Chain A
Amino acid sequence: MATVIFKPTEACNARCIYCDVVHKKPRPPVIMPLETLELFFSRINEFLLERREEGMEVIWHGGEPLLLGPDYFYQALHFQEKHCPETKSRIRHSIQSNLTRFSRDFTEVMKKLGITSFGSSYDPILNLRGLGKKRDSQAYNRKFMEGIRLVEEEGFGWGIIYVVTKPALAKPREIFHFLANFSPRGAFMFNPVLLYDAKLDYLKVTPEEYTDFLGAIFPAWWQHREEYPQVEPFSSLAGNLLEGGTSLMCCDSGSCARNHINVLPDGSLSLCGRAADWGLLQYGSIFDKSFAEALADPQREVLLERNQVLPDTECRGCRFWDICHGGCPLDAWSGSGSFLHKSEWCHAKRGFIEKYFEPTVNPGPAGGAAPVPEPSHPRPPSLPANLARIGESGSPEVPEAPGELPWISPIGGLGDTLMISGVLKQVVEKNPSRRFNLVARTKYRPILEGHPAIAHIGHPPPGAGFVIFTTNYWEHEDYQRPGKRAYQVLARIFGLTPPVEERLYVPWEFQDDPVLIKLIPWKERNILICQSSDSPRKQMSLERWEILVEMLARKGLGVFQVGRIKDPYVRGAYSLMGLTSSRQLISLVRHFDAVVTGDNFLMHAAQLCGVPAVVLWGPTSHRVYGYAGQTHLQARTECEYSGGCIGSGDGGHLYQIPCPRGPAHCLDELPLEDIYASVTGRLTGGGGGS
């Protein structure tokens, strides 16, 4: 969409200290004459008739556009109706105003122009923004507040640009909370002050200072980003670096040469407001040039050339080129006198990302910062059956836009998550730039948070069309094949070529809960048991567990039970049920001499921690899920499901239904003496095996 920065007046009732417009010598006419305004809309129509696929955004700017009064806007509306009958649906109006002159008289015409929101500016620090020659801040602030109130009452939205000056550097968090409190439904944006007058050096901020200002705020925003309004540049950076966007604001778009035009009250054309202020990139006047001609002006070539030159010179190898494009060309010009350099604010952007953004967003497994993924990502190596586009039921597709990270939708039990984590670790070991987003589901987050393969945990935006991996390996065609192993099927889903080494992994350091450790009445040898499972068919009966516990206790072993707080208690065991999170349980397992469990999370956790385990298998198979080195006691299934009632793909519907065989349930056929012997054997150093 072409963008016109439309300045029908450069007059302003305020004298903001950092504004270029109010300090330059006014050039007549102060207000764009109605004849010129009419021509302006005629030019828009001409442009849109030529380019039937395009739209045009008209940003009313100034000066202060509300000084024009409502009638001027009604005239604009009239000219739009008159000259753009076919094209008006492709014209979008927006406005930047200090709102100190807003009244209800503007409401109707603004709404008729399609304006639903006002962009504005505010600063709680006094004497930076103010009305009249004396720059009266308090009067400005009162009128601004009144304007905001009216705008809200009239049903408009609003947002704020906050210009970061030297005085603001002392209180970044206060300013952030001030703006977030003031604008709970709105949005706000931080911009560094750009000053070119030595008299104002006391207000200037360096790129490094601006970096630190943003860095002081960012963790607060990131922690509760769902709650705060859209805050720039954070929202855009997160969108670009974590969700595959490819551009920041207009100044970083690298495309202003193709689509930006600035129009002054006398009808003169230039690239943008700053170009006009500085007498650069002037394209003539709407009296003698169409917008198409202005957009094709040869002076724009230097900006296009910039996009070719910088990647081979100052921006060579920069991993942020795709989103930054060397920054604003006008900044480059002001710093070096040439457009063919990068902006000095490049350091601020890069510095912020590397010093604050990445360490906060992706702290890495050992606490060190791990780089966020490159803005451009390689395509997934293959698209197995578990890969689909969100919102599509048809065949999966390869992502078209570079930089879109595939999403993982984790399903399955927590034990499956340990396998997924191990597989993902191997994926990044093989391809260090590979990253995924993880669909946020509470039970998986504690295990996978901080994983080097996971760039972001959250929710795909509505209607997103990017690739998603689902971890339901049991529905994968490989799972039906003889010799299938769950880990290997997961490896294939994520593009590895089986067979791969089966290594479980968690991206965080084990950490004991000292209170819990102190609470446990340890004996010389201690066994951890878990009777429960998501499926009743994977549980040995409570009575048999109690006999087993009694046998173990008689040998002087400490027997401790873990599980959910509502799980059945095995009498004789010391209950730790409900006392551990998934992370805490994993850390706890390491303190035990052996584990006795069914096919559940504890079985995987024991393997992760290298603790000897005796695993009781019934309807599922140790050949599919069990690990070498563990002792597997596999019950014979003497029912109609010779391969196990829930172990194969067609038995999913039985997963939650108790076995109808009662005492003849396969797991209850396992001889307790064998279990007991296996446990004591492991304690005396006996090896694993089935």
Chain B
Amino acid sequence: MNLPRIVCPPDPGLLQSFVDRTVLVRVPSLGEAAAAAARVGQSGNRLLCVIVESDSPLADLDFQEDQKAIPLAVMAPSTGQFRHLARQLDLLRSFNLRVYLPGHHAENLVGLRILSSVGIYTCAVLGNGSMDWEALADLMTYAVLERVPHAAIEPFNFIASRYDPAAYLEWGGIFFDDPKTYLHLDGKGRVALSPAELRKKQFIAQSIAEIPEPAEFPAIRERLQAWRQYFLDNHPCASCPGWKICLGRFAGDGLGNQGCAGFFLEMLEVARQFKNRQTQAEEFRIWQP
């Protein structure tokens, strides 16, 4: 197992408590991104991206030319007023940026589609509130199959391009929710397995130093094997045709299993179509005289 990437605040002392790791730093505002990125470089670690956890809509953020070089994951509650956003579009398109919006708001699904259509890379954060599965399926179909040029919308493009019928596909890493790839540290260096557990202060270790072998660390090991419990319990998710690309992600929170099953079944079909397209030249789609 590779060492998981570390997601933490840009505290200089904390960053210097480990070396030669791939790091993502969390900041509450865009204005702090540049300084945070610089601190990672000074600490002897590698920066993957700066996660901007903004309370403000995307349109209200003040993107500046000198932020272009920073790899950014901007998490905003919504897109905000598009007329404000439109003024910054040219600049945003030149950024190394992915915009994250909560997927459980209908207007965000529209916003994600608009951003994608104007060339901004985006991600719908799923699993946090009740989903409009049909609207999500529409967005997913647009993201993966639409032939008009548009930027990728995650996690759909990730799922479609990585789907392997002979394996399970874990895609929580797209929004940093996969303990195999990301561990989350608070300001004191305590380790949580996911952003949600970090918020709830559910820690598995007091410091990253306690986890020299992540694959053997009981809490991580247990989490990575947690899917087996669905089979032990004969949970409905274990018999769902969409299991291999869902892994019961929506089983526990009472978010409406019927809807998620339909969505992931459709996602599978779309992934198959996506693969077919990759193996078949576009000109052969239409009949040949």
Interface residue range, chain A:
35 or more
**Restricting to A578-609, which residues have a CB under 8 Å from any CB of B?**
578, 580-582, 585, 597-598, 600-602
Give the residue of A182, A581, A597, A598 whose beta carbon is less than 8 angstroms from that of B287.
A581
Q: Once the chains bind, are B238 and A124 in contact (CB under 8 Å)?
A: yes
Bound-state Cα–Cα, A585 to B243, Å: 38
Q: Once the chains bind, are B165 and A578 in contact (CB under 8 Å)?
A: no
Give the residue of B166, B231, B239, B287 whose beta carbon is less than 8 angstroms from that of A229.
B166
How far is the CB of A234 from the nearest CB of chain B, in Å? 16
**Restricting to A123-152, which residues have a CB under 8 Å from any CB of B?**
124-126, 138, 141-142, 145, 149
Flag B246-289 by CB within 8 Å of A: 1 or 0 each.
Answer: 00000000000000000000000000100010001001101111
Residue among A125, A415, A443 with max Cβ neighbours from chain B (10 Å) = A443
Q: Once the chains bind, are B238 and A181 in contact (CB under 8 Å)?
A: yes
Beyond A177-B243, A227-B165, A228-B165, whether A182 also contacts B288 by CB under 8 A is: no
Flag A523-551 by CB within 8 Å of B: 1 or 0 each.
Answer: 00000001011100000000000000000
How far is the CB of B87 from the nearest CB of chain A, in Å? 35
Flag B161-198 by CB within 8 Å of A: 1 or 0 each.
Answer: 00001111000000000000000000000000000000
Contacts of B284 in A (CB 8 A): 442-443
Q: Once the chains bind, are B289 and A177 in contact (CB under 8 Å)?
A: no
B2 in contact (CB, < 8 A): no
**Restricting to B66-90, which residues have a CB under 8 Å from any CB of A?**
none
Give the residue of B166, B225, B276, B289 whose beta carbon is less than 8 angstroms from that of A532.
B289
Flag A160-173 by CB within 8 Å of B: 1 or 0 each.
Answer: 00000000000101
Q: Once the chains bind, are B286 and A184 in contact (CB under 8 Å)?
A: no
**Restricting to A200-228, which residues have a CB under 8 Å from any CB of B?**
220, 224, 226-228
Q: Once the chains bind, are B289 and A563 in contact (CB under 8 Å)?
A: yes
B148 in contact (CB, < 8 A): no
Interface residue range, chain B:
20 to 34
Q: Once the chains bind, are B287 and A124 in contact (CB under 8 Å)?
A: no
How far is the CB of B225 from the nearest CB of chain A, in Å? 6
Beyond A124-B238, A175-B239, A566-B283, whether A182 also contacts B289 by CB under 8 A is: no
Contacts of A175 in B (CB 8 A): 239
**Restricting to B4-30, which residues have a CB under 8 Å from any CB of A?**
none
Q: Once the chains bind, are B280 and A442 in contact (CB under 8 Å)?
A: yes
Residue among B165, B225, B272, B283 with max Cβ neighbours from chain A (10 Å) = B165
Beyond A149-B225, A566-B283, whether A185 also contacts B239 by CB under 8 A is: no
> A148: nearest residue on chain B (CB-CB)?
B228
Beyond A145-B232, A185-B166, A185-B167, whether A177 also contacts B240 by CB under 8 A is: yes
How far is the CB of B276 from the nearest CB of chain A, in Å? 8
How far is the CB of B234 from the nearest CB of chain A, in Å? 4
| Interface SS of chain A | loop
Contacts of A598 in B (CB 8 A): 289
B113 in contact (CB, < 8 A): no
Task: Show 27 residue pairs from A and B whose CB-CB distance is below 8 angstroms, ordered by the A residue.
Answer: A126-B234, A138-B232, A145-B228, A177-B243, A178-B231, A181-B238, A181-B240, A181-B244, A182-B238, A184-B165, A184-B166, A185-B167, A227-B166, A414-B287, A442-B280, A533-B289, A534-B288, A564-B283, A564-B287, A566-B283, A580-B287, A581-B286, A581-B287, A597-B289, A598-B289, A601-B287, A601-B289
Q: List the 6 shortest-distance A-B pairs measured between CB atoms, nearest first.
A: A600-B289, A227-B165, A582-B287, A174-B239, A181-B243, A564-B286
Extra contacts besides A534-B289, A564-B286, A564-B287 (18): CB < 8 Å:
A124-B234, A141-B232, A145-B228, A145-B232, A173-B239, A174-B239, A177-B239, A178-B231, A181-B244, A184-B166, A220-B241, A224-B165, A228-B165, A414-B287, A415-B289, A530-B289, A565-B286, A581-B287
Residues of A within 8 A of B (CB): 124-126, 138, 141-142, 145, 149, 171, 173-175, 177-178, 181-182, 184-185, 220, 224, 226-229, 413-415, 442-443, 530, 532-534, 563-566, 578, 580-582, 585, 597-598, 600-602
